[in-house]
């Protein structure tokens, strides 16, 4: 079977006795999950007592919870006792030159137009000292530091800014929010923390790409972004390059706290390993992403391009608490072969004159299943709330599925809700028309799909958008004709 299983097997064959005591000197926790493991992780990271308590509370609650079965996805049951929850960040094997990199991976890189230096960085080839990414990152950090912006790994933030973490951790996604969020809260390994001070307009896109120590993000990642009053930040997660990862389950949590007059733009390109053409292997991506517009006139915008993972289960949401606050969700989700995606958003209107906008583009090919699931909830006191939702599905071939589950709950009669949905197929007529103009079928599909997704791609930061376009084409390669 896959590499994943091979690795699991390797670990299984290691010595392991029930009733062990955790060795704090060890670089790796034994397989399985119990209270001792949670304590082990916390101790390994030298966490303060309150954070350990927080983890333990999450763990206790998690033990009483059951895995959700409502998403429109099917996968074999995950044995959570078969996972190693802590291992010290390992250094990537250093390669001498790009010639040592898997040729298939290199071909993908070149199709995406990723520069040679970038390719080296991504594959762990030793990088020339002059263009060392660490020095780039250092300059980057200095600029941010002058503005008072904090951008660091989660562990560093726990150490250096415990008050901020204590105040905001779990403030949007409580430790016990749902099965996977609770699991993440108990065992999260690391992640990112970002704080934008009052009135500061972050002058550059913040990207995990530039963050030192970002290489080993682990499978239980936790991101916390706090935008203080009147501030602005655009945050990028992921990259278009293929992510080879041996962990099968990914259960991340992203929390965003947006204060009065502040704005956060959060963009994701997700390109985890989707499994092979027969649907074997691939990542299970079960993510909880939520932000709150806590103050008046706050704005939170999610943009996502989802092309990877075998199973995706993800609903970046906005709680619109402040009056006049705005929530946006722009999504392109592509599934091919045997991929399954159940993704969408929740817009919770609490404040007056709150506005939300949902634009979801689902593209299904092969034998894949692609579902949009969304909730628009208008509470009693959300006078004059407005929502506009648009959900479009594009089908390639006749073996795939597109599904839409829009939920609307309205408790205030002054609100205005609009929902539009379309389903279309890439027609043979369209392909033939392109062919007749000299455009080959692969390029034709890319053109049509990018046209279909344009509204969302336009929301991405410029350099990201170009790569994302290529990524869409690459994901759908071989799906037609």
Partner 1 sequence: MLKIENLKASVEGTPILRGINLEVKPGEIHAIMGPNGSGKSTLASVLAGREEYEVDEGSVTFQGNDLLELSPEDRARAGVFLAFQYPVEIPGVSTTNFLKAAVNQVRTYRGLPELDAVNFLKEMKEKMKIVEIDQALLRRSLNEGFSGGEKKRNEIFQMAMLEPTLSILDETDSGLDIDALRIVANGVNTLKSKDKATIVITHYQRLLDYIIPDFVHVLYKGRLVKSGGKELAHELEKRGYDWIKEEQEQISA
Positions touching partner 1 (CB under 8 A) are 427-430, 432-441, 443, 447-448, 450-455
Q: Whole-angstrom Cα distance, residue 406 to residue 315?
A: 12
Choice between 233 and 431, CB closer to partner 1: 431
> Who's near 139: CB < 8 A, 6+ residues apart?
none
Residue 209: closest CA among 302, 265, 266, 140: 140
Choice between 420 and 440, CB closer to partner 1: 440
Choice between 50 and 433, CB closer to partner 1: 433
Residue 88, token pair as written in the block: 């010290």
CB of 20: closest distance to partner 1 in angstroms?
Answer: 58
User: Residue 164, CB half-sphere, CA atoms under 13 Å: how many?
Assistant: 24
CB of 475: closest distance to partner 1 in angstroms?
Answer: 17
CB of 392: closest distance to partner 1 in angstroms?
Answer: 9
CB of 422: closest distance to partner 1 in angstroms?
Answer: 10
Choice between 57 and 470, CB closer to partner 1: 470
CB of 445: closest distance to partner 1 in angstroms?
Answer: 11
CB of 448: closest distance to partner 1 in angstroms?
Answer: 6
The angle at the Cα of 50, spanning 81 to 195, to the nearest 5 degrees, equals 95
Choice between 203 and 451, CB closer to partner 1: 451
Choice between 23 and 428, CB closer to partner 1: 428
Q: Whole-angstrom Cα distance, residue 432 to residue 398?
A: 18
Q: Whole-angstrom Cα distance, residue 50 to residue 55?
A: 9
Q: Whole-angstrom Cα distance, residue 300 to residue 319?
A: 9
Residue 193: closest CA among 152, 163, 239: 152
CB of 84: closest distance to partner 1 in angstroms?
Answer: 45
Q: Whole-angstrom Cα distance, residue 419 to residue 221?
A: 34
Q: Say if CB 320 and CB 356 are below 8 A apart.
A: yes
> Who's near 131: CB < 8 A, 6+ residues apart?
117
Residue 45, token pair as written in the block: 């990271």
The helix/strand/coil state of 175 is coil
CB of 430: closest distance to partner 1 in angstroms?
Answer: 5
Q: At what angle do helices 35-44 and 49-63 cross, to 10 degrees?
A: 150
What would you report as the CA-atom Rg of the chain, rounded to the nearest whole angstrom?
22
Task: Tell me which residue has tokens 């204060």.
Answer: 259
CB of 367: closest distance to partner 1 in angstroms?
Answer: 23
Bridge partner list, 288: 253
Choice between 7 and 447, CB closer to partner 1: 447
Q: Whole-angstrom Cα distance, residue 117 to residue 136?
A: 13
Choice between 418 and 440, CB closer to partner 1: 440
| 8-state DSSP, 149 | -
Choice between 133 and 430, CB closer to partner 1: 430
């Amino acid at each position: 079977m896959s590499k994943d299983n091979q690795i699991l097997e390797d670990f299984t064959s290691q010595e392991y006795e029930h009733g062990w005591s955790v060795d704090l000197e060890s670089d790796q926790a034994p397989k399985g999950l119990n209270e001792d493991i949670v304590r082990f992780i916390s101790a390994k990271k030298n966490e303060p007592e309150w954070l350990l308590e927080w983890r333990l509370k999450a763990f206790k609650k998690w033990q009483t919870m059951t895995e959700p079965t409502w998403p429109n996805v099917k996968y074999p049951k995950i044995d959570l006792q078969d996972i190693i929850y802590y291992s010290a960040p390992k250094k990537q094997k250093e390669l001498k030159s790009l010639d040592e990199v898997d040729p298939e991976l290199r071909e993908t890189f070149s199709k995406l137009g990723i520069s040679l230096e970038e390719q080296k960085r991504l594959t762990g080839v030793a990088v020339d000292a002059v263009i060392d990414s660490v020095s780039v990152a250092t300059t980057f950090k200095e600029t941010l530091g002058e503005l008072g912006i904090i951008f660091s790994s989660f562990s560093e933030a726990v150490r250096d800014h415990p008050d901020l973490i204590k105040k905001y951790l779990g403030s949007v996604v409580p430790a016990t929010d749902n099965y996977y969020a609770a699991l993440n809260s108990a065992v999260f390994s690391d992640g990112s923390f970002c704080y934008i001070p009052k009135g500061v307009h972050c002058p550059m896109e913040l990207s995990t790409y530039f963050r030192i120590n970002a290489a080993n993000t682990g499978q239980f990642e936790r991101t916390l972004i706090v935008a203080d009053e009147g501030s602005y930040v655009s945050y990028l997660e992921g990259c278009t390059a293929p992510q080879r990862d041996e962990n099968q389950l990914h259960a991340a949590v992203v929390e965003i706290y947006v204060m009065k007059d502040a704005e956060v733009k959060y963009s994701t390109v997700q390109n985890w390993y989707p499994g092979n053409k027969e649907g074997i292997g691939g990542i299970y991506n079960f993510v909880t992403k939520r932000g709150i517009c806590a103050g008046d006139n706050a704005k939170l915008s999610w943009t996502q391009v989802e092309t990877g993972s075998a199973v995706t289960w993800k609903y970046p949401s906005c709680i619109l608490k402040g009056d006049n606050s705005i929530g946006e969700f722009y999504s392109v989700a592509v599934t091919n072969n045997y991929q399954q995606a159940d993704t969408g958003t929740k817009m919770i209107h609490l404040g007056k004159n709150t506005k939300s906008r949902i634009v979801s583009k689902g593209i299904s090919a092969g034998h894949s299943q692609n579902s949009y699931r969304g909730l628009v909830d208008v509470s009693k006191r959300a006078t004059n709330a407005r929502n506009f939702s648009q959900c479009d599905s594009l089908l390639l071939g006749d073996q795939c599925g597109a599904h839409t589950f829009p939920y609307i709950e309205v408790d205030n009669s002054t609100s205005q809700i609009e929902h539009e949905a379309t389903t279309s197929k890439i027609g043979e007529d369209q392909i033939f028309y392109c062919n007749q103009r000299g455009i080959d079928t692969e390029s034709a599909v890319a053109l049509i799909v990018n046209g279909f997704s344009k509204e969302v791609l336009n929301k991405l930061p410029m350099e990201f958008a170009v790569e994302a376009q290529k990524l869409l084409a690459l994901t759908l390669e071989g799906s037609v004709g």
